[in-house]
Copies of this chain bind each other. A is one copy, B any other.
Amino acid sequence: MKSWLSSLAVVLAVVLAGALLAARGSEGREGKEALLKAEAVFGADAASRGVDGWLDHFAPDAAIFPAGEPVIVGLGKIRDYYTRTGFSPKGLTWKPQEAFLAASGDLGYTFGTWEATGADAEGKPAVHTGKYLTVWRRQPDGAWKVAADIGNADPRKAPAH
């Protein structure tokens, strides 16, 4: 019985050490690459499928921070807001500059710059730019989804005459 307990303890020690090491490992290069890949797929889906492709990458309890509105929390409310405002991510591209993960590999963040092509007040083509910060949470199925996403805009440059 005592020997059985010792064997169990050895197995437990190995399993737990493995779990800890796995958690630490996801902090490293592999985890970062998974996060950056999730962000690239997010961008590709938004470009090809518009708001539905965009929303597929949001966690059920995600938060967005549109100017002039309260924080909007929850996928249903975010969808309602986009419907109400006619938001479309088409013409919006972004480029992550960094990605970081928690040691446990369940939370991470990326930040970088965005660029949107649209029209100015006179209907002429215009490019807007800015920066963003996105917090990602790993879902029970292992997929990375957006938990919080905020951006700000650079001041408009005076158009060239």
Contacts and interface: CB of A to CB of B under 8 A. Distances in A.
**Chain A interface: which size bin?**
35 or more
A109 B148 contact: yes
Interface in A26-65: 63, 65
Interface string A1-43: 0010110011011001101100100000000000000000000
Interface stretch (A77-85, A86-94, A100-108, A115-123): A100-108
Nearest to A26: B104
A68 interface: yes
Given A12-B13, A13-B13, A135-B109, A130 B6 contact: no
Given A133-B150, A152-B67, A10 B16 contact: no
Contacts of A98: 63, 73
Copies of this chain, tallied across the complex: 2
A1 to B, nearest CB: 13
B104 A102 contact: yes
A81 to B, nearest CB: 14
Given A13-B13, A63-B98, A109-B147, 11 more contacts: A6-B10, A12-B13, A13-B16, A67-B152, A68-B154, A71-B111, A71-B113, A100-B135, A103-B104, A150-B151, A150-B152
